[in-house]
Amino acid sequence: MIETTKTYRILISGGGTGGHIYPAIAIANAWVERHPDSEVLFVGALGKMEMQKIPEAGYRIVGLPVAGLQRSLSLSNLKFPFKLLKSLSKAFGIVKEFKPQVVVGVGGYASGPVLYAAQSKKIPTLVQEQNSYAGLTNKILAKRAQKICVAYPDMGQFFPEEKIVYSGNPVRKDILNLAGKREKALAHFGLKSDLKTVLVLGGSLGARTLNLGMLEDMKAFDQDGYQVLWQSGKFYFKDMLAATEKAQLKNIHLREFIREMDLAYAAADLIISRAGALSVSELSLVGKPVIFIPSPNVAEDHQTKNAMAFVINNAAVMLKDREAVGQLKKKTDEVLGNPEMVKSLGENIKKLAKPFAAETIVNEMEQLIA
């Protein structure tokens, strides 16, 4: 371990989605807990959610004008080279002024320019890859990075084996211990203690298939004695609210976004979720039965690969996106109607958990500085 009397300057770049942002915050928190005198600076993409979430977590962030290429023909693609050059120039300026001792890239648009600038200045860099299928930016940056911290085994197909550290994905500390939180959780969300609770999560923006599936089955859930805590996401909340208010169902509890995820997990008997990297990592720590519905609209279908890593270990159930609408209630019955299945899924998913991922990454950062 390196000495703690010195002030360290840590630069963390990336974002775009919660799957990049929350692991970045967890790394920063773990570093500051060990080295309280440190200065941590984040670099994100202007207009993306990290510009709001990082300051809410108590850290300073600088934004780059970088944006991604659209897969379809788009006029915005014509601006891409100019935004990239401007972002590279600004990234070099940030690195020169801040003088970080180590730079961490968590994926997302801002990671590329910042790690490229740091690597050009011979500053140690660490790449954190959340998914079971590595993103293009991380694959490029990994060639000159000193360490690559991954969440899944067998990532040598993407990265040099000698640089890989199997750390797992950093997650929020409040979900590491849910014991004794169930009563508080039920009271917080206005749930009943005598009903099975199904937690439906589609991410902060929402998942169309999960929301359509709930619209299809919400009356059946309500009539058959389930209660559902349903995070619809920002994009779908108004439409879902109108539909649930019209249906007047007593046990369907709709939320645009759930901040108190530790309480939501504590209340749940079953969780229906997308299979983004952060969700998968958190749910492995929760240790409850999960139905994954991977999004098909992601690079290289990586959410299916994330989910399958659990399905092959009998640690989760998977529903294909195209088959999910009309199947949520049926699949819920199959799982919760089988106590042995509930027990084995909960036990097996917890075996795949990596509860000390952030601390492992901090260890690697220390070694790079030392």
pLDDT digits (tens, 9 = 90+) for 276-332: 988 999 999 999 999 999 999 887 888 999 999 999 999 999 999 999 999 999 999
- Strand order in 125-129's β-sheet? 60-64, 39-45, 9-13, 102-105, 125-129, 147-150, 164-166
Mean per-residue pLDDT, 85-99: 95
**Residue recorded with tokens 């952030």:** 358
**Structure token digits, residue 234:** 């920002």
pLDDT at 16 over 90: no
pLDDT digits (tens, 9 = 90+) for 39-73: 999 999 999 999 999 999 999 999 999 765 445 55
Question: How many alpha carbons lie under 13 Å from residue 233 in its C-beta half-sphere?
Answer: 20
Q: How many C-beta atoms lie closer than 10 Å to residue 333's C-beta?
A: 14
* pLDDT score of 8: 96
* pLDDT score of 54: 96
* pLDDT score of 68: 57
Q: How far apart are CA 257 and CA 49, in angstroms?
A: 14
Residue 135 banded pLDDT, cuts 50, 70, 90: confident
| Residue 30 vs residues 38, 125, 168, 284, 363: alpha-carbon distances, Å | 11, 17, 14, 20, 10
Q: What's the whole-model pTM score?
A: 0.86
Residue 156 banded pLDDT, cuts 50, 70, 90: very high
Do residues 104 and 365 lie in contact, with contact meaning Cβ atoms separated by under 8 Å?
A: yes
SS (H, E, C) 167-184: CCCCCCHHHCCCCCCHHH
- The mean predicted confidence, pLDDT, of the chain is 92
What share of the chain has pLDDT > 90, as a percent?
79
Residue 136 banded pLDDT, cuts 50, 70, 90: confident
* pLDDT score of 76: 57
**Paired residues of 196 in beta bridges:** 226
DSSP calls for 67-134: -PPPSS--THHHHHHHHHHHHHHHHHHHHHHH--SEEEE-SSTTHHHHHHHHHHTT--EEEEE-SSS-
**Paired residues of 149 in beta bridges:** 128, 165
pLDDT at 132 over 90: no
DSSP calls for 132-178: SS--HHHHHHHTT-SEEEESSS--TTTS-GGGEEE------GGGS--
**Structure token digits, residue 320:** 């294909």
pLDDT digits (tens, 9 = 90+) for 335-364: 999 999 999 999 999 999 999 999 999 999
pLDDT digits (tens, 9 = 90+) for 190-248: 999 999 999 999 877 789 999 999 999 999 999 999 999 999 998 999 999 999 999 99
* pLDDT score of 82: 72
DSSP 301: G
* pLDDT score of 29: 96
pLDDT at 78 over 60: no
Mean per-residue pLDDT, 117-138: 93
Of 74-78, 147-151, 289-293, 298-302, which range is least confident?
74-78
- Angle (nearest 5°) at CA 211 between 306 and 314: 30
- Secondary structure (3-state) at 12: strand
**Paired residues of 92 in beta bridges:** none
